[in-house]
A and B are shown apart, each in its own frame.
Chain A
Amino acid sequence: MEQTNEMMMEFDSRSCNESFARVAVAAFMTQLNPTLEEVADVKTAVSEAITNAIIHAYDNQVHKIRLECRLEGKTIEIAVTDFGKGIPDIPKAMEPLFTTRPELERSGMGFAFMEAFMDELAVESQVGKGTVVRMKKTVGNRSPFEED
């Protein structure tokens, strides 16, 4: 069986913690020996999920965000959990350019970026209870001849 490694952390939903969270995940995933681009992809996806929790789930009020990471083989699994207001219509929320907060200049690209930069994305949510965003990426499975 392949070795696994897990970490979990919980922090306040303050925007200054966005960089802390993505850097922590980037540091944790170095064990997979990823390329710089793979690290950048994961950092962007984590940043999107955390930002969503801060702005949408908690409406900029300070509560807790839980971030879990699990490494297995060449794969990193990430779960971002909030205990905020939840998403009533997940498919709608995931539509590119859809945003409930245009006045904050939200681009509506958060979930689209998570999908573009990770291999798998799953969202579970319960209104009034919170949301879990699960993402997965396997590193090193890109052919060097592949182009963007």
Chain B
Amino acid sequence: MEKGELFQLKGSILTIKVPAELDHHLADEIRRQSEEIQNEHNIRQIDFDFGQTTFMDSSGIGLVMGRFREIQLTGGTVRALHANERVRKILKISGVSRVIEVVPEKTWKI
């Protein structure tokens, strides 16, 4: 997994392109790389882009909540973007959607 494919840094906003399946195997990998980036840069916001994601388990919850806890200490925020029905269900059951902003798959602009 190359860093370039998964992470996008724009100013102080880090976007994490979540892969199709976010389980323990990939969550560990993303956590390690994300921590490296967070140590090297002043990140104020982390956006998880779930646009490609069709599967997520509680390891994904651990990843999102881990980033939330870290960035919250310095007043930053975490968002979940392009979350489809499945991802929203997982975020809801685990209570994560109560503490971070969840933006659904399609947001219609008029």
Contact = CB atoms under 8 A, between A and B. Distances in A.
Interface of A: 15-16, 18-19, 22, 37, 40, 43-44, 47-48, 51, 54-55, 104-110, 112-113, 116, 148
Interface stretch (B7-15, B52-60, B74-82, B98-106): B52-60
B31 A55 contact: no
A105 B65 CA distance: 8
A105 B66 contact: yes
B24 interface: yes
B62 A40 contact: no
Interface string B83-99: 00010011001100000
A15 B25 contact: yes
A48 B93 contact: no
Contact of A54 (B24, B57, B94): B24
Contact of B58 (A19, A37, A54, A110): A110
Given A15-B24, A51-B23, A105 B58 contact: no
Interface in B19-59: 21, 23-25, 27-28, 31, 55-59
A116 B94 CA distance: 10
A51 B55 contact: no
Contacts of A148: 89
Nearest to A113: B58
Contacts of B61: 107, 109
B63 interface: yes
A127 to B, nearest CB: 23
Given A44-B90, A116-B93, A55 B24 contact: yes
Nearest to B31: A105
28 contacts: A15-B25, A15-B28, A18-B25, A19-B25, A37-B86, A44-B56, A44-B57, A47-B24, A51-B24, A104-B28, A105-B62, A105-B65, A106-B58, A106-B59, A107-B58, A107-B59, A107-B61, A107-B62, A107-B65, A109-B58, A109-B61, A109-B62, A112-B58, A112-B93, A112-B94, A113-B57, A113-B93, A113-B94
